[in-house]
Amino acid sequence: MNKMRIYLPKCEKYERLELSEIERAKLAMQIAEKGEQGLDDFIREEKEKKDSSVAKRIEELKQKIAEEEKKIEEEFAREMEREKELREKRLSELQESERELDSNLYSLEGVRDERIRDAVLNVPLLKVIDAGEPVKEGKLGKIWRKIKNFFVMIFAAIVRFIRWFLEKLGLVKKKKKDTKREKGVSIAIRLPFSSDELSKLVSRFGNAIFTNPYLEKDVEKRIIEEENISSARLKLRKYWDEEWYKRAASRILENEMERALEKEKKRLKSEQTEMRKKKREILNEKEDMSKDVGEVYRKKYEDMRKKVEDALKNEAIEALKKELADGLEDAGYIDRKGGKISITSKLVSRFADLLYMDVVKDISSNRESEVGIDNPLGVYVKERPRIAEDVSKIDIVGTYVSARLNHPWDKHIYDEDMIIARELRGTTTHVILLFDRSGSMDENDRLDAAKRACLALYKAIMHQNPKNIVDIVAFDTRAEKMSIKEVWECESRGFTNIAEALASARLLFSRTKVDKKLLYLITDGLPEAYTEEGKQKIGDVEKSTEYAIEEARKISGLGKKIGEIVSTIIMLEPKEERYLEHCLKIARELGGTMLVTSPKELSRNIFRDYYSVKPHT
């Protein structure tokens, strides 16, 4: 079967995917929380919702799949007809090949004996008989041969006499007579044909070994190799014992014939085996060709249809994923380098906005009356909206211009395009958020809760007044000031050095002049590290607590010079009573309060504490 062409639908033909505000917010949350996996999770969850933008795109995909399946079905029908024709043609060729093989096998069996005969009768030694004319003896030659034979006979008689004499004396053992010795040249091998012709050739061979110089030389060479005797000894023995020489020549000829016989049998068997193998292959192929074409093609069709359906789904999902990623990248929410997605500060900022809005919705609706927000003074600044209520303050002209600059090809206005006029308050606040990221904060998602609370509170503070100052410091064995992106991406490590965290806060407060100063410290345990002469030391809880208390006194003293510093220590699920005791000592030295809560309630409680501070603007 030829390889089928599959026409996959082009996803660029789809209209631009438009996400709702809720979907866009959810996507931002997913990406911020899970990175690239969040994109996959968003698509998987949204495609199960009937009215979601992703589900609508999936429905378009289903229609494309149905169209493609119809094309596949039509293509298979055409292909099946072509296959039927090819099979009929191939069956005819196989039948012809089978007949030819049967004929060859039959012929091979018929010529088997003839080929063995030819192989045996054409051994080199027999062929040498006709290689040259026998040498004709002249009168001198006959006389010389008789003289040689006479002397050989005398020599042989002398040798036999000496042997007889030695045997009588008992010096050598008596040689047994060979009663089975046959005169002349004889061959004792089984042949699958009449041996008359062979007998004639063997008889000629027996005469030729004395008269044909070519054969005589060849036979003598082989006897020397097999009997392991010298040439001189061979010639001597040949003259005084012709029968021995003939028997030796017979063995040489017989061995050569047996080798030729076995070789030809093996060749015949190999040819038969190869022919039978080819016949089995033909019969197997004929069986395959005889199967129902429709049944074969139905299975192939189902397999192909499933592959195409999966390919279409995968392609569309990948295209949808790419389109969403492109939108996020255009909005400045992600960066893509080397095929990997990384979040940007802008996405973390948007994520912090969403966290802020979630906490606001969770807090009581009469929050403003409880905390007593001041009246506006009529000073406004243009910026992006923070919460849903900001839409009422939209700057129409500014928003339109922003949308055209951000995406001139698109007629829609998105939330990142919107510009609002926000009211500025009369006072400024400097808030420092210290959060513990030591190893123990990994338990029960305490570190994740602390990071979310810091980001949400950061947005709440900046929402009230863009001139407010918010510093976020993560501390373990060391303390480090971080951007909101660094905050979200930081991981747990090290030990709890509250003293260095407080020292960082004191330094930051001393550099600003604002109306209000707030300090929040989020931790889950005891001080277990401190800094002495620039070196971090761990393991001594009491000394670590002393250093922390000393830094708390310094902050309290700084507050008396530059203005009150309102401090709150938040304990997350303290394991033992002594954890509370140590942190309470630090809170008292700060002149602040201590709050005990769980990771789940952290954001809500820190917001309530923040909005309860007077004045809060």
pLDDT band at 614 (very low <50, low <70, confident <90, very high): very low
Q: Average pLDDT of 283-294?
A: 76
Q: 3-state class of 474 per DSSP?
A: strand
How many other C-beta atoms can be found within 10 angstroms of the C-beta atom of residue 534? Answer: 5
pLDDT at 301 over 70: no
What are the residue ranges of CATH 3.40.50.410 in the chain? 346-365+427-612
pLDDT in the model for residue 15: 64
Q: Can you give the C-alpha Rg of the chain in angstroms?
A: 54
End-to-end CA distance of the chain: 78
Whether residue 341 contacts residue 326, with contact meaning beta carbons closer than 8 Å, is answered with no
pLDDT in the model for residue 450: 97
Domain 346-365+427-612 is found in CATH 3.40.50.720: no
Q: What percent of the chain has pLDDT over 70?
A: 78
User: Residue 371: which residues within 8 A CB-CB, separation 6 or more?
Assistant: 611, 612, 616
pLDDT at 144 over 80: no
pLDDT in the model for residue 554: 96
pLDDT in the model for residue 545: 94
Q: What is the pLDDT of residues 450-464, one digit of tens each?
A: 999 999 999 999 988
pLDDT band at 327 (very low <50, low <70, confident <90, very high): confident
Average confidence score pLDDT of the chain = 80
Q: Average pLDDT of 334-342?
A: 84
Chain centroid to Cα 140, Å, comes to 95
Q: What is the pLDDT of residues 305-317, one digit of tens each?
A: 677 667 666 777 7
pLDDT at 543 over 90: yes
Cα–Cα distances in Å, from 599 out to 142, 367, 432, 450, 577? Answer: 131, 22, 20, 7, 18
pLDDT at 581 over 60: yes
Distance (Å, whole) CA 561 – CA 506: 12
pLDDT in the model for residue 201: 76
Residue 301: exposure state from Cβ atoms within 10 A (0-12, 13-18, ≥19): buried
Q: Average pLDDT of 144-156?
A: 69
pLDDT in the model for residue 113: 82
pLDDT in the model for residue 132: 54
pLDDT band at 17 (very low <50, low <70, confident <90, very high): confident
Q: Average pLDDT of 88-101?
A: 87
pLDDT band at 561 (very low <50, low <70, confident <90, very high): very high
Distance (Å, whole) CA 55 – CA 17: 11
The 8-class DSSP code of residue 376 comes to P
Q: Average pLDDT of 521-536?
A: 90
Question: Which one, of 335, 453, 333, 351, lies nearest residue 26 by Cα?
Answer: 351
pLDDT in the model for residue 111: 83
Angle at 595 between CA 594 and CA 600, to 5 degrees: 155
Q: Is the peptide bond before 615 cis (omega within 30 degrees of 0)?
A: yes
The 8-class DSSP code of residue 394 comes to B
pLDDT at 534 over 60: yes
pLDDT in the model for residue 431: 97
Q: What is the pLDDT of residues 362-416, one digit of tens each?
A: 875 544 434 433 333 344 566 677 666 666 677 765 676 567 666 666 667 777 7
Q: 3-state class of 370 per DSSP?
A: helix
pLDDT at 517 over 70: yes
pLDDT in the model for residue 593: 94
Least confident interval from 119-128, 208-217, 307-316 = 307-316
pLDDT band at 486 (very low <50, low <70, confident <90, very high): very high
pLDDT in the model for residue 179: 46
List 469's β-bridge partners, or say none.
430
Whether residue 450 contacts residue 487, with contact meaning beta carbons closer than 8 Å, is answered with no
Go through 229-257 and write b for each residue having 16 or more CB atoms within 10 A of its CB, e for each that does not.
eeeeebeebbbbebeebbbbbbbbbbebb
Q: Average pLDDT of 495-508?
A: 96
Choose from 91-100, 293-302, 388-397 the range with maximum mean pLDDT: 91-100
Distance (Å, whole) CA 97 – CA 282: 8
Residue 528: exposure state from Cβ atoms within 10 A (0-12, 13-18, ≥19): buried
Least confident interval from 10-19, 50-59, 194-203 = 10-19
Distance (Å, whole) CA 586 – CA 577: 15
Q: What is the pLDDT of residues 215-262, one digit of tens each?
A: 888 888 888 888 888 887 777 777 667 788 888 888 888 888 888 888
Whether residue 191 contacts residue 120, with contact meaning beta carbons closer than 8 Å, is answered with yes
List 253's β-bridge partners, or say none.
none
pLDDT band at 176 (very low <50, low <70, confident <90, very high): low
Between 440 and 17, residue with greater pLDDT: 440
